[in-house]
Structure 1
Amino acid sequence: MESLVEIGSAAGFEPLLFHHMLQALDCLAFHGLIHRDVKPENILYVTGSDGQYLFQLGDFGLCNRKVVAESAVGTLLYMAPEIFYETEQTHKVDVWSLFVTMLWTLDTGFRQICGSFNGVGEIHQAISLAASQLPTVARIKEMAIVDAENRASAAQMLLKHFNGKGLSTPQNQVPALRTTPAGPATPVSRTGQPKGPQNHASPPTAAGQYGVGQALQDPSQRLALDPMTDVRLGQAFSPPFAENPQIPGNAPFGNADLRPRKSRERAHFS
């Protein structure tokens, strides 16, 4: 998927991408699975006979069951805060990663500065700042709440933006969406003490040179287009998933190549 963004060949595909990935994450969550490496590089796509893009989540090399997912693995930029704080990993880690993926997709400035962050604290600070102030991701900011308990689920976002179309979780089991703002709260470890990076300094100076920093300081520098406002409830689309026997109950999950790729840019911590 990242090739579409980098060459600028498919402007306007973002709502479809968002819808398909929410369906994938909700399907995983419903079956008690966590992908743990959601990022642009792991989103594949094909073009259907009708010209529509079909986005599929691939590379399940780090996928694990919720009850045993404890190791800190993934790609640093997209890893949820709780992974660094020895707190429980749930399907909400994938929701955070999808938010960062959409931020990377929608905001040129973020793409330009994301390699300049100095540590995890700056990464999470910039993401929280973008969630609270950038118009391009304002409608999905519930996905970037630092406290995983208050963070939106994929099912909740499917209900909010697509009227529940594509849900795997029964609608009557989806709790109401909380409105807690995305903020710089510090997760607490299982021992009751904050763990991991504590450097919640201001985003790096480089942020001021591009879209993220300028959008916060000068409204005239904000992206004129907010693709998420183009999301249509009940938007017609080709079913993005095929049967996959690797998922319990033959859950619909995509005919993408599920073989793990070589680990690239993954951070592994003991």
Structure 2
Amino acid sequence: MTRDADDHDSSDGVTLGEPSPGVRDPETGHINAYPPAPPPGEPLVTRVTERLPKPDRTITYTLVDPVGVRPGGTDLRTALVQRAGGPDDGDRRYRHELHQRVGRVVVAGAHVEAALKRLLVVTSVRESFREANYDWAVLEVELRKALREAGGALSAEALEHVGLLLDGADRAGLRELRNQVVHSEWWPWEEFQGRFIRWGRRRDGYTGLGSLVDLDNLADCLEALASALADIVAPVWPYIILDTRESADSGDGGA
């Protein structure tokens, strides 16, 4: 998943329909030129042509701004998006694929955080999840502190393994990529496959471009990390064993 280096839209630009074409300001993402302004109180309605990357193509759609021409332009990153007549079959297929993959990332990321909490409990003076109830960033900071103190129930070899896993996740940017997927607004329309808008805290937003393959790869990495962390804590943590399907179906409880 990518964005351009200056946090601007990853597309090549937007132009407005005749008679007065306009372009989006590359610094702000705003459309700053319009057809003749409508009368006061009337909405702005104009056709917009946008060049999309991957694959290189253009798409034309209608921009409606109920308040007319805004000072500074209309920021397309914040616009509501809808299709005339409602979502079509292509939109529904894409949404099904997108939601499956985003869901995998959400679940796998939560498993990573749960594994970090377990490790923090067994390597520090914390006695329960309640005392380790932090987000991923804080969990990692606190866990690294605990690793340096080399306390708790895990061996020195296990502690070293945890540190190596955290280092690898940092190099791959897994936490930020997970946050990007979870906290971005994805455009669930077939023409805009992979487009997401991310707004940081007190920062301008940016438009990014990902793919279903990117989401699959990220989920694979998160699942592998969660599994590796769980394997380390398993020898000193309670666990549940589910019955095989056959024994559960027979009602014998596996006895």
Quick check: TM above 0.5?
Answer: no
Q: Which has the higher helix share?
A: 2
Q: Which has the higher strand share?
A: 2
- Asked which structure has the greater CA Rg, the reply is 2
Q: TM-score, normalised by structure 1?
A: 0.21
Q: TM-score, normalised by structure 2?
A: 0.22
